[in-house]
Structure 1
Amino acid sequence: MDDLLARVATLEERVAALEAAPTTTTPPLDTDADDRFWALTGLTARVDRPASSGAVMMVGDVRTPAGDEARWQYALTTDHLLAADWSDLAPVLAALGHPVRLALLRAVLDGARTARELADAVDVGSTGQVYHHLRQLQAAGWLRAAAGGEHVVPAERLVPLLTTLLAAVR
């Protein structure tokens, strides 16, 4: 009983310390403050107008539930994007177009890594079905096979993945 009382006392001390700690609040990213378009302001400062029709950028500073981190940014001019052959992008986008593949990516970001763990996490059935979807995600660059049969979202693809999902949010 003494052990239990000591553990409760320790927990109470930790809670008190947490409650006494100063809190910092980060303003939401979509506030109506003067700097609402802070990222856009930085991008437009780098665009050569009027020679260019503008630019598009994705940027992120990410830590996943599994602890993976990525800080990444990429930008292209609008001219470059409009001149590109969009049909070349279809396989990369199509790989995200299946609910099982999206669930697999989410499970990897949550910490599942092996095909067996992924099969359990998304309740797909067999690991054979999981491997079918994993191959498509790997071919599109959304996943990479790592040591020990584990699968990871490459750091350079983490922010693009999340910004693609952000684009789908309405």
Structure 2
Amino acid sequence: MDDETAAQLRALEDRVAALERASAAAPHAAPDVAPAADAHAPHAATADGDAFWALDGLTRRAGGPGSTGAVMVVGDVTTPAGDTARWQYALTTDDVLAADWADVAPVLAALGHPVRLALLRAVLDGTRTARDLAAAVDVGSTGQVYHHLRQLQAAGWLRTAAGGEHVVPAERLVPLLTTVLGGLR
């Protein structure tokens, strides 16, 4: 390991230790917003009525003194086709705001067309080949289906598996569903 890598590793270890100390010292804060009562409520209460269980856990891990907070994407899903994913990813608020958002534009743009969303939904339902997708989604021509499939593949939302079947990669399944969830709100 070179000196620069060793220094980066030490800095990361120090940062994790500081977060752990802050997490242990942070008081458990009560939610400052009551859970919404509508069907698209942003909070899913557990059996014990704790509507902010995920948020509280994130706050304990990243909410130390001087923290600007964090954002997390997390899910444990099984699609109608039987694909499963358990996935989580988090960044501090500072890291998200410091990122170059222009780099995200092509990934989001790929979701910005009704036909591509319909194709993704059909794949999650179990329709996997281009021929079957063309039949399931009213597109016009197989050439148009391939155009949309290429856009989704280039953005990482789809991958071609064995036998020419299209799948949503496991590491993209939860982000896809949470992106759609954000749009439903």
Q: Give the TM-score range, shorter chain.
A: 0.7 to 0.9
Match for 1:118 among 120, 124, 133?
133
Partner of 1:31: 45
Letter in 2 for 1:52: S
* SS in structure 1 at match of 2:44: coil
* SS in structure 2 at match of 1:59: strand
Letter in 2 for 1:72: W
Q: CA deviation at 1:147?
A: 1.0
Give structure 2 stretches of 5+ with no counterpart: 1-40
* SS in structure 2 at match of 1:156: helix
Quick one: distance in 1 between partners of 2:86 and 2:62?
22
| Higher mean C-alpha displacement, 51-60 vs 159-168 | 51-60
**Residues 2-53 of structure 1, C-alpha deviations (whole Å, 9 max, x = no match):** xxxxxxxxxxxxxxxxxxxxxxxxxx96239641100011111111522431
Q: RMSD across aligned C-alpha pairs, in angstroms?
A: 1.6
Pair 1:145-2:183 in alignment: no
Pair 1:104-2:113 in alignment: no
Letter in 2 for 1:94: A
What is the TM-score of this pair, normalised by structure 1?
0.80
Q: CA deviation at 1:123?
A: 1.8
Q: Map residues 14-93 of structure 1 onto 2, 5 A cutoff.
A: 30-31=44-45, 34-93=49-108
Q: Is the 8 A contact 2:129 2:164 kept in 1?
A: yes
**Divergent runs of 4+, >3 A:** 31-34
* SS in structure 2 at match of 1:75: strand
Percent sequence identity is 79
Letter in 1 for 2:107: V
Pair 1:154-2:183 in alignment: no
Quick one: distance in 2 between partners of 1:50 and 1:132?
49
Give structure 1 stretches of 5+ with no counterpart: 1-27
| Higher mean C-alpha displacement, 102-111 vs 49-58 | 49-58
Quick one: distance in 2 between partners of 1:72 and 1:156?
7
* SS in structure 1 at match of 2:152: helix
What is the TM-score of this pair, normalised by structure 2?
0.74
